[in-house]
Amino acid sequence: MSRISLMTPFEPVSYMNIRIPCQILGTSDGGKVVGTIEVSVVKMGEIEDGEADHITTDVQGQKCALVCECAAPESVSRKDNLPFLNAVLKNPVCKLYRFPTSDNKWMRIREQMSESILSFHIPKELISLHIKEDLCRNQELKELGELSPHWDNLRKNVLTHCDQMVNMYQDILTELSKETGSSFKSSSSKGEKTLEFVPINLHLQRMHVHSPHLKDALYDVITVGAPAAHFQGFKNGGLRKLLHRFETERRNTGYQFIYYSPENTAKAKEVLSNINQLQPLIATHADLLLNSASQRSPDSLKNSLKMLSEKTELFVHAFKDQLVRSALLALYTARPGGVLKKPPSPKNGTEESCPQDPPPPMKRQDSIPHHSDYDEEEWDRVWANVGKSLNCIIEMVDKLIERDGGSEGSSGSSKDGEKDPSAADSMITHPKEDWYEQLYPLILTLKDCMGEVVNRAKQSLTFVLLQELAYSLPQCLMLTLRRDIVFSQALAGLVCGFIIKLHTSLHDPGFLQQLHTVGLIVQYEGLLSTYSDEIGMLEDMAVGVSDLKKVAFKIIEAKSNDVLPVITGRRDHYVVEVKLPARMFESLPLQIKEGQLLHVYPVLFNIGINEQQTLAERFGDVSLQESINQENFELLKEYYTIFMEKMPPDYISHFQEQNDIKDLLENLHQNIQAKKRKNVEIMWLAATICRKLNGIRFTCCKSAKDRTSMSVTLEQCSILRDEHQLHKDFFIRALDCMRSRQTQGALNESDDPETGCLSDNKPTSRHFYPVALLLVSSHLLVVWLILSLALLLAKYQ
């Protein structure tokens, strides 16, 4: 029997002895001892120094300081937060270690790995959003109006392919809804079509450290397979290369369509989204203004007018871009040959003053004039009429309140444009006249003018989107599909990491201030090689991580027990709504509770570390890795600059060694410029900077198994050495302990976490794999390659 004296980070009874049947593997003679372990469990804070300073065991040669395995929640001391945490994590598996410190004390480590149910929830949310967006776009294409035969055929072709894409998304969503088994996708399933939106092996790896002289500390790393479209394959490269090639060919081939740059296409989508959001809001505020007028309430009237003015000004500002003008002209060229005469220009009195009766809006036309047949100022007049209508409403409200003997008219009235007060005066016969009747015609005019602007702008900008699809239609949609797949995998990991970080730092005022003032850095550590298919994976991952810049978070109060996040928005702009229980929500700063969007700054640093990277560095090309690291260093440096500018001085002065971060950035830059082979110092520096900036850490390789496990365990032991005074003679022993499969017992095939079938009391960790591949000499690989080629040549001669 072995006796182990153990202090745990849990809060069990004060003291008790437990006899556990067990077998201990890895004895000096290679055998195993079967028997029982008597564990003395002592409640923390109730043990004197020296009582548990050593482990006594009768087993000789035990090489690992693993003292306990368990499968339990995070901590019984955090019961209030468990419903929120359980919305993200599932099947936590833990290990407890004790390691000596440099002053011969003991530190206790609790290692936990958990699956995340967001692996499937986020892709389903995102696919539903894509279906809704694509159906809306298809409907707008159908409502584009009459087009010339060439453009009409292109539109029909686009609609046919887009309908097929929507049907495919619906089928994938249906299949994902049937998934009820494992909460993560194993690497063996990465080639399945129905699961291609789901990230591979998404897990939380957490290390909880209790040191004798330091505060308890938590270190989290999200481990996930590199976001990539495995089912689509990498024969022609990944997204980075495919998008560049597609854009180059599209720019140089414009005989069948009108070329718009990706920036203009994105701008068109943004304006269309703003239109769809602002038009109903303006209509709602206009109705509220009329309701206030019917109640003859001056204060309510002024408040309603303020909201209406703000939304209308945003609406008018959305159309200042030159893109709308060029799109209107382009749409006319695609219409059948009919030419419309110029509509009569309004008189000066109509343009510069509020009319006695609201003028009817211009009739909607089937084609937009162009060249000599098109009055180029017509769009300006239609667009400006919205602002002038608003000015008339502002002046009328001021006059009504003034005549009623109320307070002074609202400040800042009448913006953008001249007004003739006589027009408003003529509409008021005496102060007691019905306010509703005075404002109703002006509100009607505003809505009519706004409707005319929306109709013209929607059609022209939808025509811009048609150009994006018109060139190389199947390839364009396949690129969209591939990008959606990669983004879905990346977003699932990001949402999981954000919620975990929020949960961990919820009671840290400095972190919450940083969250709404600057945003969070999100650092991805890539371990992909620049060889063979992994080049395509890295190209996919680079685009997927970069696309996360389109994501913002919004924290809302949960109104029910359902605290799963909800995604809104469209491609190019997503908002993830994170729900918090009422008690947790009330502790947030006012800015966050009022719905301020919280932004993230994703960066990716990649260093290939396997034997394929050795071949790539000797015989291939590593320029992709170098360019990715350099680009993302600039992004990281930009975030640090924003952080230093926006955070208050009192916070920065107490922040974690700011000068040290500056030195780390300079060191990181030097290492990136050095172009050293397998320079893993880049990964360590980037990870350290991320932790010091309160960021979210990710570690990725092809399947989040071997290389990821090696990296995470090395990082954990390095943190114990550098931050918690791990005894220098025990670094390798601690590393071997965390990596050793023997600490799990003898794993058989049924215990492989990849299969999803795990026996009881066996952790599902992927972080216990042999390191042989990382220890192979690069010189031996070259010799082996030369000898293999020589043997092949001799065989076939």
Q: Which residues are catalytic?
A: 701
Q: What is the number of residues in the chain?
A: 797
**Residue from 501, 516, 596, 520 nearest 556 by CA:** 596
Q: What single string gives the DSSP state of each residue in 370-399?
A: -GGGS-TTHHHHHHHHHHHHHHHHHHHHHH
Q: What single string gives the DSSP state of each residue in 226-274?
A: ----TTT-STT--HHHHHHHHHHHHHH--SSS----HHHHHHHHHHHHH
φ and ψ at 347, to 5 degrees? Answer: -70, 165
φ and ψ at 79, to 5 degrees? Answer: -60, -35
**Residue from 364, 558, 512, 355 nearest 445 by CA:** 355
Rounded Cα–Cα distance for residues 561 and 255 (Å): 56
CA distances from 378 to 329, 368, 444 (A): 12, 10, 21
Rounded Cα–Cα distance for residues 107 and 793 (Å): 58
3-class DSSP assignment, residue 550: helix
Alpha helix stretches (DSSP H) within 404-532:
421-426, 435-470, 473-504, 509-517
Alpha helix stretches (DSSP H) within 608-763:
611-619, 623-646, 649-653, 658-674, 681-692, 706-724, 731-739
Q: What is the CA radius of gyration of the chain?
A: 32
Rounded Cα–Cα distance for residues 528 and 535 (Å): 8
Q: Is 383:328 a contact under the CB 8 Å cutoff?
A: no
φ and ψ at 774, to 5 degrees? Answer: -80, -10
Q: Is 743:768 a contact under the CB 8 Å cutoff?
A: yes
Rounded Cα–Cα distance for residues 498 and 515 (Å): 11
**Which helix (H) or strand (E) covers residue 587, if one does?**
none
Beta strands 32-42 and 66-70, pairing class: unpaired
Q: Is 91:114 a contact under the CB 8 Å cutoff?
A: yes
φ and ψ at 18, to 5 degrees? Answer: -125, 130
Q: Is 576:600 a contact under the CB 8 Å cutoff?
A: no
DSSP secondary-structure letter at 429?
S
Q: 533-547 and 623-646 are packed helices; what angle lies between their axes, rounded to 10 degrees?
A: 20
Q: What single string gives the DSSP state of each residue in 94-115?
A: EEEEEEEBTTS-EEEEEEEEEE
CA distances from 651 to 637, 645, 657, 661, 703 (A): 19, 12, 12, 15, 39
